Amino acid sequence: MKVTGIVCVQECYGAVLNMEQKLLHVFDNRRQYFTDTKLVVSGVATLWHQTSDSKENRNGRALNAKSMRAVVTGGGGYFGYKLGCALAGAGASVVLYDIHKPIWEVPNGIVCIQLHREEIETVNIDGTRFIIDACKQRNIARLIYTSTVNVVFGGLPIEDGDEETVPYFPIEKHVDHYSRTKSIAEQMVLAANGTPLAGGGILHTCVLRPPGIYGPEEQRHLPRLAKNIERGLLSFKFGDPSAKMNWVHAENLVQAQILAAEALTPEKNYIASGQVYFINDGEKFNLFEWLTPLFERLGCSKPRIRIPTALVYVSAMIMEYLHLVLKPFVELSPLLTRNEVQNISTTHTFRIDKARTQLGYSPEKFAFADSVDHYIKTRPETPNHHLFLKVLLSFIISLQCCYLDCPHLHGTANRHLFNIEIVTPQELYLRN
């Protein structure tokens, strides 16, 4: 959506490192500086530059209406957009930088720069390196990287984990590229803490680790879940019935971002320098219970059938393979990925005591039902893909029947089904 006062420019850069020259051209024309950067696909790295006079803001006191300037790469996504709007609302000049323009109404005065989709492959890691180098060369003293809980979670249970006792999950054992690159990028940002700036001074960095993000205009997870529920593709359960996970509302994550920026100042004794923080709403839920409002608003029954997690895992692996094979011909998103199977089936919850104590983080109460209501009222009409998805569901059911008809497959570490070895994440971890 394009509204008055917004400039949307489509750019095609030959390489990630050429981003600097293009962005600096925007800064020169609009007198802007790096302030907030979200790595495309990978996450948010927030770079702060401001003078000493601060303006009070409900999400923190680290904003300066006159002097703060910002670039939000990944600003076309839900959280990047929300953070950009929060910064603009405090008076900052903001550039949104992404492979697509935001679909929501954007405040006047914000500039949108569009990157071509084929150029995002190296951004997760190379882009992080570029941003760190830009901080050093341009004397930007604060960098906040928004990572993910997946850097420590890889399918093994974690209950009320904290920053000091939960180690990184081995990079080579992650089942998805996203988690691997997030882990590498996070460690790069932390390693950059304390390095000197070209003009004098020190770079201070910290990391925020959120779980799944939700909110009334989130367009990645909620619409996909709703479509699959209506198509009857989530009529089954799997995993530990007591498995729980955390969620974070976009507004709470924005609050944590701004508080973290403040905690990297001399006024706060750089308390967040070199630190990591788990950020969530302070509550934990079983996914199927969490989705109850969505099932109810859609008029669908909650899933009652429980199927083996190993079966769902291998089905997800097959769907990921089909997605890659068919990608040149049709855009077909997997019903579930292996990473999502791990997240749903295994408890992984984290404490936010450190963020409360050091940052002053105080999450507001939000109801997922409100986000669901907003989605139901505003969702567009979508084409009907029931036939293909019913065939896919039939395939999954056939796999289950084969699984149930072969008792010797149950409970073994090495299972072979159609020449595919089915190994749970826990077994893979223990093997290595």
What is the per-residue pLDDT across 103-154, written as a single tens digit (0 to 9) for each? 888 887 788 877 655 444 466 788 889 889 999 999 989 899 999 999 999 9
User: pLDDT at position 192, please?
Assistant: 97
Choose the weakest-confidence range: 3-7, 289-293, 398-402, 426-430: 3-7
Of residues 222 and 195, the one with the higher pLDDT is 195
Residue spans of the domains in the chain: they are: 7-218+247-283+349-367
Burial track 31-70 (b if 16+ CB lie within 10 A, e otherwise): ebbbbbbbbbbbbbbbbbbbeeebbebebbbbbbeebbbb
Q: Is the pLDDT of residue 267 over 70?
A: yes
Q: Which of 13, 78, 178, 403 is catalytic?
A: 178
Query: Do the Cβ atoms of 178 and 244 come closer than 8 Å?
Result: no
User: pLDDT at position 113, please?
Assistant: 79
Which of these, 380, 234, 357, 383, lies nearest to 307 by C-alpha position? 234
Q: Is the pLDDT of residue 246 over 80?
A: yes
- Tens of pLDDT, residues 49-97: 554 344 434 444 445 544 567 777 678 888 888 888 888 887 878 888 7
Q: What percent of the chain has pLDDT over 70?
A: 70
Pairing of strands 111-115, 284-285: unpaired
Query: Do the Cβ atoms of 79 and 213 come closer than 8 Å?
Result: yes
User: Average pLDDT of the chain?
Assistant: 77
**Does residue 178 have an active-site annotation?**
yes
Distance CA 369, CA 371 (A): 5
Q: Is the pLDDT of residue 360 over 90?
A: yes
CATH class for the region spanning 7-218+247-283+349-367:
alpha beta
**This model's pTM is above 0.95:** no
- Tens of pLDDT, residues 297-339: 999 988 888 999 999 999 999 988 888 888 778 777 778 889 9
Task: Name the one residue in this structure whose structure tokens are 């904003």.
Answer: 63
| Phi, psi for residue 405 in degrees, rounded to 5 | -80, -5
